[in-house]
Amino acid sequence: MPHRHRYHIIALAALGFGLLVAAFAMFNWNHANPAVAQEPELPEADGQAIAEFILTESPYQDWGSWTPDRWTDFGAYVQGGEPHGSTIRIFVNDVAQEAVAAEDFDGILPPGSLVVKENFMGSPEEPGDLAAVTAMYKVEEFAPEGNDWFWLSVAPDGTVNAEGAVEMCSACHAQEGHADYLLRYAFGEEPATFFGDPLPEADGDAVMEYVLQTNDYTAWASWPSDDVNIEDFSGLLPGQEPHGVAVRIFVNDRALAAIERDDFNGILPPGSIVVKENYMGTVEEPGDLAAITVMYKVDGFNPEANDWFWVMSAPEGAVDAAGAVDMCIACHAQEGNSDYLLRYQLQVPETAEE
Ligand code: HEC
Ligand code: HEC
Q: What single string gives the DSSP state of each residue in 47-99?
A: HHHHHHIIIIIS-GGGT--SPP-SS--TTS-EE--TTS-SEEEEEE-HHHHHH
Give the residue, by CA position, lying nearest to ligand 2 atom 1.
331
Cβ proximity of 72 and 78 under 8 Å: yes
C-alpha 109 to ligand 2 mean position (Å):
45
Pocket of ligand 2 (CB under 6 A): 239-243, 247, 249, 274, 276, 293-295, 310-312, 321, 325, 327-328, 331-332, 341-344
Q: Given the CA of residue 344, which atom of ligand 2 is nearest to it?
A: 27
CA–CA distance from 174 to each of 177, 182, 186, 329 (Å)?
8, 8, 13, 38
Kindly state the percentage of the chain with pLDDT values over 70. Answer: 81
Average pLDDT over residues 69-94: 77
Provide the pLDDT for residue 30: 42
C-alpha 273 to ligand 1 mean position (Å):
25
Please say if the pLDDT value at position 347 is more than 60: yes
Q: Which of 163, 127, 145, 213 is nearest to 51 (CA)?
A: 163
Considering every ligand atom, which ligand is closest to the CA of 327? 2
Average pLDDT over residues 164-182: 89
In testing the pocket of ligand 1, which one of 120, 153, 169 has its CB within 8 Å of the most ligand atoms? 169
**pLDDT per position as a tens digit, 206-258:** 999 999 998 899 989 999 998 899 999 989 999 877 777 899 999 998 888 78
Q: Given the CA of residue 135, which atom of ligand 1 is nearest to it?
A: 29
Q: List b or e across 330-347, with b for residues whose CB sees 16 or more CB atoms inside 10 angstroms.
A: eebeeeeebbbbebbebe
Task: Give all domains of the chain, ordered by start, each with its CATH number.
Answer: 47-173 (3.50.70.20), 204-352 (3.50.70.20)
DSSP 144: G
Average pLDDT over residues 1-15: 50
Considering every ligand atom, which ligand is closest to the CA of 168? 1
Q: Given the CA of residue 88, which atom of ligand 1 is nearest to it?
A: 18
Q: Which helix (H) or strand (E) holds 45?
A: none
C-alpha 274 to ligand 2 mean position (Å):
10
Considering every ligand atom, which ligand is closest to the CA of 273? 2
Give the residue, by CA position, lying nearest to ligand 1 atom 6.
169
Q: Is the CB of 77 under 6 A from ligand 1?
A: no
**pLDDT per position as a tens digit, 136-145:** 999 999 999 9
**Burial of 46 per CB tally in 10 Å (0-12, 13-18, 19+):** middle
Cβ proximity of 156 and 134 under 8 Å: no
C-alpha 24 to ligand 2 mean position (Å):
74
Confidence of residue 330 (pLDDT cuts 50, 70, 90): very high
154 three-class SS: strand
Q: Given the CA of residue 81, which atom of ligand 1 is nearest to it?
A: 17
CA–CA distance from 27 to each of 13, 36, 41, 53 (Å)?
21, 14, 13, 21
Confidence of residue 188 (pLDDT cuts 50, 70, 90): low
Please say if the pLDDT value at position 1 is more than 50: no
